[in-house]
């Protein structure tokens, strides 16, 4: 499982830099590229191990980023935990189904999800910084949506922040900054639970996780440095287009799974 060449280890660090750079630059979406980068760029073609490994890397990065948000009081612990607790059940359900799904089929479905996410990013409008006065917290919605997002996180091994942030805004009554900070609780927990479940099957490469996180810390710092100097809306559109192109390649590489 740890059969990595020196070149693959270097490429893993570079992949982590790219993922961290994206997260620092546009505030999200980077984890969606972690899986295709590891498979097609690093050349580590073990889909289930890749999902478990990237889930752990996403979890560690989320908890690291949670610290500065908590210091700035951008984290609502109670609502974050209400969202996360049913999400854990969703993660375990999704992870079980993901482990039962053949690797190529899983990657094909994941590519479709990438396209859906990219379209969402292209269509998304800027959300007002303040809480919508018409939005009232709904713990019932938080519980239900938490389970569904957890399921997607467990099945695909993604952080799910792109789903969690708007969910917290419209069901918990949080503003955008609070939603981003609070979402990191769920991203961290969902990623950790996914990684633990996959590791029980031996589908986890801790060395790659360390390399990804190391690169991600540096990439995140660089991305955050440029974030205030460039148009984030334009960058988001460019990033979404890149995701679509990568997804199309993944569809092409894995369509034979359904033949």
Angle at the Cα of 28 from the Cα atoms of 27 and 31, rounded to 5 degrees = 140
| pLDDT tens-digit readout, 77-100 | 999 999 999 999 999 999 999 999
Residue-level pLDDT at 134: 52
Buried b vs exposed e over 193-227: b needs ≥16 C-beta within 10 Å?
Answer: bbbbbbbeeebbbeebbbbbbbbbbebbeebeeee
Residue-level pLDDT at 159: 76
Cα–Cα distance, 108 to 94 (Å, whole number): 16
What confidence tier does 199 reach under pLDDT thresholds 50, 70, 90? Answer: very high
Q: Which residue has the higher pLDDT, 178 or 121?
A: 178
Provide mean pLDDT across the span 100-108: 93
Token pair, residue 242, equals 């890149």
| pLDDT tens-digit readout, 134-154 | 556 677 888 898 999 999 889
Residue-level pLDDT at 181: 85
Residue-level pLDDT at 68: 84
**pLDDT surpassing 70 at residue 219:** yes
Asked whether 11 and 212 are in contact (CB, 8 A), the reply is: no
In this prediction the pTM is 0.84
Cα–Cα distance, 86 to 236 (Å, whole number): 30
| pLDDT tens-digit readout, 157-168 | 887 777 788 788
**In terms of DSSP H, where are the helices of the chain?**
6-26, 31-36, 47-71, 77-100, 103-123, 139-156, 161-172, 176-199, 206-227, 232-254
Cα–Cα distance, 197 to 181 (Å, whole number): 26
Cα–Cα distance, 127 to 249 (Å, whole number): 32
Domain boundaries in the chain? 6-258
**Average pLDDT, rounded, for the chain:** 86
Q: Which residue has the higher pLDDT, 189 or 142?
A: 189
| pLDDT tens-digit readout, 14-43 | 999 998 888 777 666 667 888 999 999 999
**pLDDT surpassing 90 at residue 238:** no
**pLDDT surpassing 80 at residue 125:** no
**pLDDT surpassing 50 at residue 178:** yes
Cα–Cα distance, 2 to 206 (Å, whole number): 8
């Amino acid at each position: 499982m740890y059969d990595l060449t020196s070149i693959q280890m270097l490429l893993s660090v570079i992949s982590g830099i790219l993922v961290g750079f994206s997260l620092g630059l546009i505030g999200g979406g980077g984890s969606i590229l972690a899986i295709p980068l590891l498979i097609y760029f690093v050349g580590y073609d073990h889909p289930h191990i890749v999902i478990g490994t990237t889930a752990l890397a996403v979890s560690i990065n989320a908890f690291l980023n949670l610290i500065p948000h908590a210091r700035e009081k951008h984290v609502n612990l109670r609502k974050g935990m209400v969202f996360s607790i049913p999400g854990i059940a969703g993660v375990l359900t999704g992870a079980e189904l993901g482990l039962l799904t053949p690797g190529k089929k899983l990657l094909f479905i994941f590519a479709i999800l990438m396209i859906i996410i990219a379209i969402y990013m292209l269509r998304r409008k800027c959300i007002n910084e303040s809480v919508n006065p018409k939005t009232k917290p709904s713990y019932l919605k938080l519980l239900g949506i938490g389970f569904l997002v957890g399921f997607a996180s467990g099945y695909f091994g993604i952080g799910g922040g792109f789903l969690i942030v708007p969910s917290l805004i419209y069901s918990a009554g949080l503003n955008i900054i609070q939603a981003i900070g609070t979402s990191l609780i769920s991203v961290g927990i969902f990623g950790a639970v996914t990684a633990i479940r996959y590791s029980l099957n031996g589908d986890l490469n801790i060395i790659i996780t360390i390399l990804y996180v190391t690169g991600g810390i540096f990439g995140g710092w660089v991305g955050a440095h440029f974030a205030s100097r460039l148009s984030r809306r334009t960058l988001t559109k460019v990033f979404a287009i890149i995701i679509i192109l990568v997804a199309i390649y993944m569809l092409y590489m894995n369509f034979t799974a359904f033949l």
